[in-house]
C-alpha cells in the first residue's frame, strides 16, 4: 500500500488562514451590530415614512412655511429695533429702503388684472397616448412665457400659485410640480397679474410662444389647459421669501509680463 503524503506547509497554511478569516468576519459582523444598535437608539434606521413621498413632501412644505414665518418674525424685529435708533443717517437710509419696497415687491398690491390658468391634458388622454407625451403636460417654459408676457404688458405685480414673483424668483419644475421658493405646487398653475387689463391681454395675445400654446390647447390630440380671466380686483401679497442673494464672481485674470515665463 502506498503511503499517503503528509500535508505540506501550503495545505496547513490554507486551513489556518480560513480559520483566522472566519473569526475576523465574525468579529466585524458583531461590531456592526453593536454600532447599528447604538446609532438607532431603539428606532428604525430605515423608517417607513420615507417610503411615502407624498407625506414627505407635505412635511417639507409645512417645514418651509414654518421657517418663512420665523424669517418674517425676525425681519420685523430688525425693523422695529432699527426704527428705535435715533440717528439721522440711519433714518435717512430707512426712508430710502421704504421707498424701494413697493417696486421690489415687498408690499402688497391690489387692482384689476388678468388670471391665466395652465393645466395638463386630461389624464385619460395622457394614458391613451403611446407616443411622445411632452406636449400633453405644462412645462417650466410655458409658465415662464406667461410671466414674461405679463411683465411685458406692464404688470405691477405678478403672482404664481399664490406666491409673489419678484426679480429673483426662480421658476423650476420637478416632475409634475413647480417649485417656488423651495415649495412644490401641483398643477393647475394659476398666474395672476395686477395692471392695465388692455395692455396685459394684448401682450399675452401677441406673444408668439403663447400663440402656439393656445393652438395646441385647441387641438383635441394635445388638449393642454389654457384659461384667461379678467378680474376687477386681484390681491397680490407681498413677497415674504429670503432676500439674501448668492452669486458667482469671475476670477480676475493675472497680468503677466509677455517676456516673463510662467510663475
The whole-number pLDDT of residue 177 equals 84
Burial 150-189 (b: 16+ CB within 10 A, else e): beebebbbbbbbebbbbeebebebeeebbebeebbbebeb
CB of 115 closer than 8 Å to CB of 228 = yes
How far are the Cα atoms of 19, 24, 27, 47 from residue 16, in angstroms, in the given order? 5, 12, 17, 42
Render pLDDT for 10-26 as a digit per residue (tens, 0 to 9).
Answer: 344 444 555 655 666 66
The whole-number pLDDT of residue 6 equals 46
Q: Angle at which helices 208-217 and 140-152 pack, to 10 degrees?
A: 130
Render pLDDT for 16-66 as a digit per residue (tens, 0 to 9).
Answer: 555 655 666 666 666 665 555 555 455 444 444 344 555 655 666 677 667
CB of 204 closer than 8 Å to CB of 117 = no
Render pLDDT for 99-112 as a digit per residue (tens, 0 to 9).
Answer: 887 888 889 999 99
* Mean pLDDT, contiguous 10-residue spans, the chain (263 residues): 45 50 62 56 45 58 72 74 74 78 88 98 94 92 96 97 90 82 88 98 98 96 97 94 68 53 44
Amino acid at each position: 500500500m502506498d503511503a499517503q503524503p503528509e500535508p505540506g506547509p501550503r495545505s496547513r497554511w490554507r486551513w489556518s488562514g480560513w480559520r483566522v478569516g472566519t473569526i475576523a468576519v465574525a468579529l466585524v459582523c458583531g461590531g456592526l451590530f453593536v454600532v447599528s444598535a447604538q446609532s438607532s437608539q431603539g428606532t428604525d434606521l430605515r423608517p417607513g415614512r420615507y417610503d411615502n413621498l407624498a407625506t414627505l413632501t407635505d412635511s417639507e412644505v409645512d417645514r418651509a412655511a414654518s421657517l418663512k414665518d420665523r424669517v418674517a418674525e425676525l425681519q420685523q424685529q430688525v425693523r422695529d429695533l432699527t426704527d428705535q435708533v435715533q440717528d439721522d443717517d440711519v433714518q435717512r437710509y430707512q426712508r430710502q429702503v421704504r421707498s424701494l419696497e413697493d417696486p421690489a415687491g415687498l408690499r402688497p398690491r391690489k387692482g384689476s388684472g388678468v388670471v391665466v390658468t395652465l393645466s395638463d391634458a386630461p389624464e385619460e388622454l395622457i394614458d391613451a397616448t403611446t407616443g411622445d407625451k411632452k406636449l400633453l403636460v405644462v412645462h417650466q417654459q410655458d409658465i415662464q412665457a406667461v410671466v414674461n408676457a405679463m411683465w411685458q404688458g406692464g404688470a405691477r405685480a405678478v403672482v404664481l400659485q399664490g406666491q409673489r414673483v419678484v426679480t429673483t424668483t426662480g421658476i423650476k419644475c420637478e416632475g409634475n410640480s413647480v417649485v417656488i421658493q423651495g415649495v412644490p405646487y401641483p398643477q393647475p398653475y394659476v398666474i395672476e397679474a395686477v395692471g392695465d387689463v388692455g395692455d396685459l391681454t394684448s401682450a399675452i395675445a401677441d406673444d408668439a410662444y403663447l400663440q402656439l400654446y393656445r393652438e395646441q390647447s385647441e387641438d383635441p390630440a394635445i388638449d393642454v389647459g389654457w384659461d384667461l380671466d379678467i378680474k376687477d380686483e386681484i390681491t397680490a401679497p407681498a413677497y415674504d421669501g429670503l432676500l439674501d442673494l448668492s452669486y458667482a464672481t469671475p476670477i480676475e485674470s493675472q497680468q503677466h509680463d509677455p517676456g516673463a515665463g510662467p510663475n
